[in-house]
Amino acid sequence: MSKNILHKSEGVLAVKLARKVIENVLGGKDSEDDLPSVPIIFSEKRGAFVTLEKEGDLRGCIGYPYPVLPLKEVLVKSAVAAAFEDPRFFPIDKKDFSRITVEVTTLTLPESVEGAFTTYSNQIKIGTHGLMVEYGENRGLLLPQVAAEQGWDAIEFLCQTCVKAGLTPMMWKYGAKIYKFEGQIFRETEPGGAIVEGDE
């Protein structure tokens, strides 16, 4: 298994940590009080999102797409923001939270797509890889599920990620740096209940 991929036990821990953070805030404590100890992989800088659903409906989703902070810090900040700072929703309360499931999406460390640009499409697997594009001060990111949902092939995915970065669609051919990554989803099957990976 790639070192970039979280083991199931680590994903379960990520969800439990996010729930504990929210419970702490609701209880008037510091967000980081009595959090479970985490393995070294949680010290790696990587992107992640925390998603809250209430009986199947979105109730909050905030995250860090880029690997700028350690995973543990990203989970703490994203859990607080998803529960209390998502501008689309009122902050949750204790009654709400008893009916809310917690989901964590972690992103693997970005890997550079190397070689001649004519080989890029062969290195990208639709539905598995997300893409990041960087050129100067511009950067853009699209999650793995976007290309699959839109029916894009690898070339269109590259073009659309360039557009997301504020670049012309074909800049992936002309010096833009391309990175690929994968996303893992870990979620509760019921509020505070069993935690599964993906569509288990």
- Looking at the predicted structure, is the pLDDT value of residue 65 above 50? yes
- Position 72 scores a pLDDT of 97
Residue whose pair of structure tokens reads 């460390």 in the numeric block: 109
Q: Are residues 22 and 95 in the same domain?
A: yes
Contact 35, 65 (CB under 8 A): no
Q: Are residues 115 and 104 in the same domain?
A: no
DSSP 52-100: EEETTEEEEEEEE-SS-SBHHHHHHHHHHHHHHT-TTSPPP-HHHHTTE
Confidence of residue 3 (pLDDT cuts 50, 70, 90): low
Instruction: Give the domain CATH number at 153.
Output: 3.30.1490.150
pLDDT digits (tens, 9 = 90+) for 101-149: 999 999 988 899 999 999 999 999 998 999 999 999 999 989 888 898 8
Tell me if 142 is assigned to some domain: yes
Domain range for 145 is 111-181
Query: Measured on CA atoms in the order 140, 143, 149, 152, is the torsion positive or negative?
Result: positive
Instruction: Give the domain CATH number at 88.
Output: 3.30.700.20
Q: Are residues 47 and 76 in the same domain?
A: yes
Average pLDDT, the chain: 93
- Full-model pTM: 0.81
Tell me if 71 is assigned to some domain: yes
Number of independent structural domains in the chain? 2
Q: Are residues 78 and 149 in the same domain?
A: no
Q: Are residues 129 and 103 in the same domain?
A: no
Q: Are residues 22 and 41 in the same domain?
A: yes
Confidence of residue 4 (pLDDT cuts 50, 70, 90): confident
